[in-house]
């Protein structure tokens, strides 16, 4: 894409009160726009990143048997009263609104009740199990305080998968499979090396639930980690557990800040019992379905990547989720021959299926380099009068600062056509 | 995909009060689920259809310079007060909710105010124009009466594109281009032959706005059409215009019911003036930006296709938006050799990139054929003991009932690998 045609621009300023590093960089880069506290718009470059994150999530969910769908946001009270989650006294994040036709509706902040009701249509026998519907869909949460930039907002897309199993064994097998898929996702997103599956408080149906926590200074959470042993526990359980069980002593654990990038829950039969989701087993006995829920927020993952991998010059995108892999930066744009030649190179890159943002704007070199660092595409290739004369391009790797001098054919050999799509 | 693994099933019943043909068929087919009046979930087969419709819309919007983004739903009052569209007296479809942190938020039912505010960040000179941001995003409308199945709901995705132009000429050029792109979209969706660009009441900024109306018995709207001359006018303007202008007399127009599948508006400078979106022209003069808005509802398009093309046996999907192109139906599934052989054929179809739903369930032939007709995939191929013996498959075209007998290689020659993706 030609940067001169992109409707967004980089900015020097961020709205007053926007203190989170992720939002500051993403707003400056023209990736997101803040509509109000806790509500952001995703601009073309930002939506491309989200699209790539969603694609990775979908691939890993489909690979373990997930079936994508999308559920409604508007909710009447009936299902939620059955599980005691309608009253504002029990759930403090509802957005509720009067319906003109009479009555009150709420905006779904999660979908356990909705999917349980829906699956009653389709589950009656053990032969209908297991099933793994999921969606990437917008949740609304009436947070008292929106914070951490795009990481704790009042509306956000969430990938939520729900598992429906006939037996505890069937449930556990999928639970482990999904935990492994989550680590694959975080590895592909470029934050796997800092992400731990942690032990968190379990609720009523299992000793622990699990969260995926990424170690980061900007985190709202606190975990106790032993990096060598690969063990992490959430702060809320650290004093309640027998650490010997985990083969670790308290003084071997380091207290660190972290971001919750995913969670998985065993729900037991809480929702199926409350909402009558039953099946007939092999012996003809009616039993409630065993459920689990599994969440990842794509925007929170995006914010975590920005917080974790950026430097003082700007964002550093991993190749898998960068909006474009290459930033082709034209200098000496007033020289017609240089511009023609760079235009031709841009066209060749595109023809070779390489994702490229082409900074064809009339602007000073210093401004272009600063913008390029801020935008953070994985590779910068400079096309200039000098480059043209020498027949070699300067190729700079954003993450490491490594500089290479490559000619056209070396560049085509080096860059795969779009590796992730 | 194997139908035995799909978590949805066809159903005989629909919820009480669901009278619209589109929703009845889509619910029976397991394409959608009704959560409450005016709020539906899209199940895996339904989401596939929506995904294909969205892909067609995106391709045509990108082809005319559209840049995709996505805006927030939650709105505070400030922008909307500036245009007098916050007060419930002026706009009767708001869903509003108390914010726990204090104040009231509304759920965007359209995005003119939001995009105008957003574009102030990026437009200051005529060099920044024209621009065509668009989104496919969920709107909320507090309709007094949800009706017509998935066609008039309280939450629905909408493709809304907004144009920003420096001159009336620039605006008109895009307006016409977008009108042409809309007809391409409706042609690709399979409803172009019944769809007219109609003249509708224009509002303050042009004599007429335009709607795209698809002639259909289930429609809520009324248009006056001359099919031969290709002219259609909305009922609301029929008595206000000089028909001679259109080269048609009133008795040459036929009154018909229709579904509004798209609309395009010239907005003039209403929003840019109210919200201070100005640019500096070539002479240094500050002027308000000229705007337009362009909407299509993917679910309404889906409902229109169902209403228009279905028959008494079920849905009839056009190839471009069918969830799968082929329905491979296994009979004699209790015969191991037949099943193995059909499994192999299914694998070959997939390996050849042909989209296929494989009815591998143990069920009676009559039930399978009824389900197949209801689901409405473009081609049914029967794999049975008889088929296996004869080396020829019965291939039935859903839309026409045409029956052909083809062997495997003829089938591979006949069916492109996924034509739309």
B155 with B261, same domain: the answer is: yes
B329 with B299, same domain: the answer is: no
Residues of B in contact with A41 (CB under 8 A): 69-72, 114, 118
A420 band by pLDDT with thresholds 50, 70 and 90: very low
Residues of B in contact with A111 (CB under 8 A): none
Residue A131 is nearest to which of B7, B95, B154, comparing CB atoms? Answer: B7
* B407 phi and psi angles, rounded to 5 deg: -90, 175
pLDDT recorded at residue A378 = 98
- Of B392, B300, B349, nearest to B40 by C-alpha is B300
Tell whether B142 lies on the interface with A, counting CB pairs under 8 A: yes
Rounded to whole angstroms, the Cα distance separating A291 from B97 reads 32
Element (H, E) at B247: none
Closest chain A C-alpha to B405 CA, distance in angstroms: 34
With CB atoms and an 8 Å threshold, state whether A40 touches B8: no
Domain membership of residue A334 as a residue range: 326-414
Report which DSSP code applies to A43: -
pLDDT recorded at residue A46 = 98
Count of domains forming chain A = 2
A218 with A105, same domain: the answer is: yes
pLDDT recorded at residue A385 = 94
Burial B361-387 (b: 16+ CB within 10 A, else e): bebeeeebbebbbbbbbbbbbbbbeeb
With CB atoms and an 8 Å threshold, state whether B41 touches A114: yes
For A353-368, give the DSSP string: T--EEEE-----HHHH
Rounded to whole angstroms, the Cα distance separating B33 from B99 reads 30
For A197-228, give the DSSP string: EEEEE-TTSSSEEEEEEEE-TT-SEEEEEETT
* B218 phi and psi angles, rounded to 5 deg: -80, 0
pLDDT recorded at residue B421 = 42
CA angle A295, A299, A300 (to 5 degrees): 65
Q: Exposure of B224 by Cβ count < 10 A (0-12 exposed, 13-18 middle, 19+ buried)?
A: buried
- Of A267, A242, A248, A243, nearest to A110 by C-alpha is A267
Q: Exposure of B124 by Cβ count < 10 A (0-12 exposed, 13-18 middle, 19+ buried)?
A: middle
With CB atoms and an 8 Å threshold, state whether A46 touches B69: yes
B393 with B302, same domain: the answer is: no
With CB atoms and an 8 Å threshold, state whether B96 touches A96: no
B117 with B230, same domain: the answer is: yes
A196 with A159, same domain: the answer is: yes
With CB atoms and an 8 Å threshold, state whether B155 touches A72: yes
DSSP, collapsed to helix, strand or coil, labels residue B415 as: coil
Q: If you measure CA to CA, which chain A residue comes closest to B131?
A: A7
Whether B7 maps to a domain, the answer reads: no
- Of A79, A133, A142, A77, nearest to A109 by C-alpha is A142
With CB atoms and an 8 Å threshold, state whether B74 touches A37: no
Whether A3 maps to a domain, the answer reads: no
- Tell the residue number behind the tokens 């009133």, with chain if given: B250
Q: Starting from the edge strand earliest in sequence, which strands make up the sheet with B379-383, in order? A: B356-359, B326-330, B379-383, B393-397, B403-406
Whether A237 maps to a domain, the answer reads: yes
Tell whether A81 lies on the interface with B, counting CB pairs under 8 A: no
Q: Residues B64, B178: contact at Cβ < 8 Å? A: yes
Chain B interface mutation, best of A18, A35, A157, A158, highest count of B Cβ atoms under 10 Å: A35
**Of A252, A274, A309, which closes a domain?**
A309
- Of B380, B192, B162, nearest to B275 by C-alpha is B162
Tell whether A33 lies on the interface with B, counting CB pairs under 8 A: yes
DSSP, collapsed to helix, strand or coil, labels residue A276 as: coil
With CB atoms and an 8 Å threshold, state whether A97 touches B142: yes
In sequence order, the 6+-apart residues with CB closer than 8 A to the CB of A95 are A106, A107, A109, A140, A141, A142, A154, B97, B105
Can you read off the two tokens belonging to residue B148?
């017509």
Rounded to whole angstroms, the Cα distance separating A382 from A230 reads 42
Rounded to whole angstroms, the Cα distance separating A147 from A347 reads 42
Residue A311 has pLDDT above 90, yes or no: yes
Burial A108-132 (b: 16+ CB within 10 A, else e): bbbbbbbbbbbbebbbeebebbbbb
pLDDT recorded at residue A421 = 42
pLDDT recorded at residue B420 = 46
**Size of chain A, expressed as the number of residues it contains:** 421
Q: Residues B42, B155: contact at Cβ < 8 Å? A: no
Rounded to whole angstroms, the Cα distance separating A332 from A386 reads 9
Whether A227 maps to a domain, the answer reads: yes
With CB atoms and an 8 Å threshold, state whether B7 touches A107: no
* B410 phi and psi angles, rounded to 5 deg: -65, -35
Rounded to whole angstroms, the Cα distance separating B89 from B72 reads 24
- Work out whether strand A133-140 and strand A67-68 pair parallel, antiparallel, or are unpaired: parallel
pLDDT recorded at residue B418 = 53
Which residues partner with B68 through β-bridges? B134
Whether A319 maps to a domain, the answer reads: no
A239 with A382, same domain: the answer is: no
Chain B interface mutation, best of A75, A79, A99, highest count of B Cβ atoms under 10 Å: A99
Residues of B in contact with A121 (CB under 8 A): 8-9, 11, 33
DSSP, collapsed to helix, strand or coil, labels residue A360 as: coil
A298 with A336, same domain: the answer is: no
Tell whether B70 lies on the interface with A, counting CB pairs under 8 A: yes
Q: What is the pLDDT along chain B (421 residues), one digit of tens a residue?
A: 999 999 999 999 999 889 999 999 999 999 999 999 999 999 999 999 999 999 999 999 999 999 999 999 999 999 999 999 999 999 999 999 999 999 999 999 999 999 999 999 999 999 999 999 999 999 999 999 988 999 999 999 999 999 999 999 999 999 999 999 999 999 999 999 999 999 988 765 667 889 999 999 999 999 999 999 989 999 988 888 888 888 899 999 999 999 999 999 999 999 999 999 999 999 999 999 999 999 999 999 999 999 999 999 999 999 999 999 999 999 999 999 999 999 999 999 999 999 999 999 999 999 999 999 999 999 999 999 999 999 999 999 999 999 999 999 999 988 876 544 4
A277 with A398, same domain: the answer is: no
- Write the CATH number for B156: 3.30.930.10
With CB atoms and an 8 Å threshold, state whether A36 touches B75: yes
Residues of B in contact with A93 (CB under 8 A): 100
Residues of A in contact with B71 (CB under 8 A): 35, 41
A69 with A31, same domain: the answer is: yes
**Of B277, B309, B341, which closes a domain?**
B309
Size of interface A-B (CB pairs under 8 A): 153
Q: Exposure of B62 by Cβ count < 10 A (0-12 exposed, 13-18 middle, 19+ buried)?
A: middle
With CB atoms and an 8 Å threshold, state whether A72 touches B39: yes
Q: If you measure CA to CA, which chain A residue comes closest to B4?
A: A128
Whether A283 maps to a domain, the answer reads: yes
B372 with B274, same domain: the answer is: no
Put simply, the chain A residues between 245 and 274 with a CB less than 8 A from any chain B CB are none
Q: Residues A292, A266: contact at Cβ < 8 Å? A: yes
Distance from the first to the final alpha carbon of chain A: 17
**Of A276, A309, A342, which closes a domain?**
A309
Whether B4 maps to a domain, the answer reads: no
Rounded to whole angstroms, the Cα distance separating A30 from A38 reads 17
With CB atoms and an 8 Å threshold, state whether A67 touches B7: yes
Q: If you measure CA to CA, which chain B residue comes closest to A102?
A: B144
Rounded to whole angstroms, the Cα distance separating B246 from B384 reads 58
Q: Residues B197, B244: contact at Cβ < 8 Å? A: no
Cis peptide before A130 (omega within 30 of 0): yes
Other C-beta atoms closer than 10 Å to the C-beta of B408 total 14
Tell whether B118 lies on the interface with A, counting CB pairs under 8 A: yes
- Work out whether strand B221-226 and strand B254-268 pair parallel, antiparallel, or are unpaired: antiparallel
With CB atoms and an 8 Å threshold, state whether B118 touches A47: no
pLDDT recorded at residue B151 = 94
Put simply, the chain A residues between 295 and 354 with a CB less than 8 A from any chain B CB are none
pLDDT recorded at residue A417 = 62
With CB atoms and an 8 Å threshold, state whether A46 touches B68: no
- Write the CATH number for B403: 3.40.50.800
B345 with B276, same domain: the answer is: no
Whether A331 maps to a domain, the answer reads: yes
Tell whether B127 lies on the interface with A, counting CB pairs under 8 A: no
């Amino acid at each position: 894409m030609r940067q001169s045609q992109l409707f967004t621009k980089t900015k020097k300023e961020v709205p007053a009160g926007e203190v989170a590093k992720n939002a500051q960089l993403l707003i400056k880069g023209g990736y997101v726009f803040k509509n109000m506290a806790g509500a952001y718009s995703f601009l073309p470059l930002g939506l491309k990143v989200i699209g790539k994150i969603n694609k990775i999530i979908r691939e890993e969910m489909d690979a373990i048997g997930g079936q994508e769908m999308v559920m409604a946001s508007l909710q009447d009270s009936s299902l939620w009263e059955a599980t005691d989650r309608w009253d504002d006294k029990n759930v403090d994040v509802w957005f509720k609104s009067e319906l003109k036709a009479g009555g009150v509706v709420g905006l779904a902040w999660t979908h356990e009740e909705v999917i349980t009701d829906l699956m009653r249509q389709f589950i009656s026998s053990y032969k209908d199990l297991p099933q793994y519907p999921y969606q990437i869909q917008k949740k609304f949460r009436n947070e008292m305080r929106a914070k951490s930039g795009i990481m704790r907002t009042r509306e956000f897309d969430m990938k939520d998968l729900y598992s429906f199993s006939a037996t505890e064994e069937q449930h556990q097998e999928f639970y482990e499979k999904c935990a492994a898929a989550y680590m694959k996702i975080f590895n592909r997103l470029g934050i796997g090396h800092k992400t731990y599956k942690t032990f968190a408080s379990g609720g009523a149906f299992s000793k622990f639930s699990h969260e995926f926590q990424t170690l980061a200074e900007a985190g709202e959470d606190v975990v106790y980690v032993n990096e060598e042993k690969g063990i992490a526990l959430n702060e809320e359980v650290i004093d309640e557990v027998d650490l010997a069980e985990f083969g670790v002593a308290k003084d071997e654990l380091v207290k660190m800040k972290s971001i919750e990038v995913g969670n998985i829950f065993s729900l037991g039969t809480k929702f199926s019992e409350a909402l009558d989701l039953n099946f007939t087993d092999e012996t003809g006995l009616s039993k409630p379905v065993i459920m689990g829920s599994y969440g990842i927020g794509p925007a929170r993952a995006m914010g975590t990547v920005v917080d974790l991998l950026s430097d003082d010059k700007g964002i550093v995108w991993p190749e898998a989720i960068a909006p474009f892999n290459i930033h082709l930066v034209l200098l000496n744009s007033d020289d017609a021959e240089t511009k023609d030649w760079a235009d031709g190179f841009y066209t060749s890159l595109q023809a070779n299926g390489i994702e490229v943002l082409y900074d064809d704007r009339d602007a000073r070199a210093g401004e272009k380099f600063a913008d390029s660092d801020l935008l953070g595409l994985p590779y910068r290739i400079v096309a200039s009068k000098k480059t043209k004369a020498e027949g070699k391009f300067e190729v700079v790797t954003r993450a490491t600062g490594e500089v290479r001098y490559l000619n056209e054919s070396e560049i085509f050999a080096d860059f795969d056509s779009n590796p992730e799509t």
